[in-house]
Amino acid sequence: MVDSNLSTALITGASRGLGLALARALAQRGWTLIVDARGSAALAAAQSELGALTH
C-alpha cells in the first residue's frame, strides 16, 4: 500500500473479491470511500461492514 496525502477513493466492484478487500484495507486506514457494485443487496452488506470498520 502506498501512503498518500489523498484520503478518498472510488472503488468499483466493492461488494466482493479484490474490490472488497481493497475497500476493507482503506477503510481500516481511515479513508473516505465511494463504493459501487452491480448488486444492490451485496453492496448494502459491504457498506454495513465497511462502516463498522471506520467507527
Q: What is the pTM of this model?
A: 0.80
Do the Cβ atoms of 15 and 46 come closer than 8 Å?
A: yes
pLDDT for position 4: 60
Amino acid code (one letter) for 40: S
Dihedrals phi, psi of 4, to nearest 5 degrees: -150, 160
Q: Is 3 left (phi over 0), alpha (psi -120 to 50) or beta?
A: beta
pLDDT for position 36: 94
pLDDT for position 33: 93
Q: Which three cell numbers stand for residue 50?
A: 465497511
pLDDT in tens, the chain (55 residues): 666 667 999 999 999 999 999 999 999 999 999 999 998 999 999 999 998 987 6
